[in-house]
Amino acid sequence: MATERKFFVGGNWKMNGNKKEIDGIIAFLTAGPLDPNTELVCGVPSCYLEYCRQKLPATIGVAAQNCYKVPKGAFTGEISPAMIKDVGVEWVILGHSERRNVFGESDALIAEKVGHALSEGLKVIPCIGEKLEERESGKTDEVVFSQLKAIVEKIPLDKWENIVIAYEPVWAIGTGKTASPQQAQEVHGKLRQWLSENVNAEVAQKVRIIYGGSVTAENCRELAKEADIDGSLVGGASLKPDFIHIVNASQ
């Protein structure tokens, strides 16, 4: 990781947790110790957003795991950035592979969501990544550049400081298969180069690109050593006390 980019760890709880279990997570996060040089954000089920924001230390961010592309209206089951902000939460994860592949969200829809969330003042973790068959057929670059291009077109230049890009190869999420540090670094480096060529060099250098896909306490340090890997987006491992080691991976 480059020194000018603050190490970033997102804990994506997905559809897990009840108040008792969440109290346990809050307890081990509060006890720490957490590296003060790492920015930590927890992605929380929507019904627990306010509960977690009230209970977690102020130094730990809270993120919604999804939102819609307009402020309000007849969209049953959706929440808006305005609602997320109203309960004191300032982050949202958008375009996670489960949103893309389980719920059928398109690049275009995800890009619209990113644009609206930024316009409403939220910070955004947009996710990109290829499926196994896409990697095996040599289409990784084509897929991730296409996903990134759709999102980038909706990000005003003055909003890049509110973006943390997550690269999550779909074949590595929850499968126990992790991209090797070298495989992940190769894609991260190409993403940064694409940003330099298609946005500008300053954005490319400053934006944090984090890796997701079976990150564990065992492999997090090797990933963190790579020049263009600025942290991690962690799923199931973020529900367990060992998550502290992942948060502290850059120490």
Average pLDDT along the chain, 251 residues, taken 10 residues at a time: 85 98 98 96 98 98 98 98 98 97 97 98 98 94 98 98 97 82 96 98 97 92 96 96 96 89
Amino acid letter, residue 68 = Y
Catalytic site residue from 96, 98, 130, 188:
96
Q: Quote the pLDDT of residue 174.
A: 76
Query: What is the Cα Rg of the chain in Å?
Result: 17
d(CA 119, CA 57): 27
Give the pair of three-digit tokens for residue 8: 């970033």
d(CA 147, CA 144): 5
Q: Quote the pLDDT of residue 185.
A: 97
Question: Is 168 noted as a catalytic residue in this protein?
Answer: yes
Cβ-Cβ contacts under 8 Å for 74 (sequence gap 6 or more):
none
Q: Quote the pLDDT of residue 2.
A: 58
d(CA 5, CA 147): 23
Question: Is 161 noted as a catalytic residue in this protein?
Answer: no
Catalytic site residue from 112, 130, 168, 226:
168
Domain annotation for the chain: domains and CATH numbers: 8-13+60-70+77-248 (3.20.20.70)
Q: Quote the pLDDT of residue 214.
A: 87
Q: Quote the pLDDT of residue 1.
A: 57
